[in-house]
Amino acid sequence: MGDLTVTIRPGRRTEIQNMPFEGNGRGYTILGDMFNASRRGQVDYSPSSRSWSVSRPHTNAVIHGLAARYGRVTVIQHGGVEKCVEACWKTGLPENAWLCECACAGRNHGSGQPFKVIVGGNGPGGQLSVQARAPHVFYVG
Ligand SMILES: [Zn+2]
């Protein structure tokens, strides 16, 4: 069994993986009690991914509740997207990377290589390349 892990993604329900088993269906009560759940559906279980989930506003309460009950919790927080403008990755000079004012902070500068996905292209700023920012991992408890 892996580490007790809470995964947070923008605009998604917060997932809890590897929660210790304390009896059939007990997870609904254990997690629900952490934020005084008032109705069914606020705590959900997915048999296919074997993970529990709660709606995003209850994330803090659940992380602290899990840490208090089970000890250490691994939290994986996915952020937004990194953006890099065409003037940076396509036409920027690599030797000027330290002067880059782009969200890529010079990592793409003049590389000719955009991030994963390219959007736009018709505007005055040219193409914008984007990719998901690397998740932030930390430990509670
Ligand atoms: Zn850039």
Structural domain harbouring 90: 81-132
State in Å: Cα 10 to ligand 1 middle.
23
Give strand pairing partners of 51.
Answer: 17, 46
State in Å: Cα 82 to ligand 1 middle.
9
Mean pLDDT of 32-58: 92
Mean pLDDT of 8-34: 94
Q: pLDDT value at position 18?
A: 97
What would the pLDDT profile of 48-90 be if each residue is shown by its tens digit?
999 999 999 999 999 999 999 999 999 999 988 889 999 999 9
State in Å: Cα 101 to ligand 1 middle.
8
State in Å: Cα 137 to ligand 1 middle.
24
Give strand pairing partners of 138.
Answer: 75
How, if at all, do strands 117-120 and 127-132 pair? antiparallel
50 and 10 housed in the same domain: yes
State in Å: Cα 80 to ligand 1 middle.
16
Compute the residue count for the chain: 141
In-domain check, residue 54: yes
State in Å: Cα 21 to ligand 1 middle.
46
State in Å: Cα 98 to ligand 1 middle.
11
33 and 87 housed in the same domain: no
67 and 27 housed in the same domain: yes
User: Which residue is associated with the tokens 């606020």?
Assistant: 42
37 and 100 housed in the same domain: no
In-domain check, residue 63: yes
State in Å: Cα 103 to ligand 1 middle.
6
In-domain check, residue 59: yes
Orientation of helix 59-70 relative to helix 26-34, angle to 10°:
120
32 and 55 housed in the same domain: yes
70 and 96 housed in the same domain: no
85 and 48 housed in the same domain: no
Q: pLDDT value at position 132?
A: 86
In-domain check, residue 120: yes
73 and 107 housed in the same domain: no
Count of structural domains, the chain: 2
53 and 88 housed in the same domain: no
User: Which residue is associated with the tokens 């040219």?
Assistant: 126
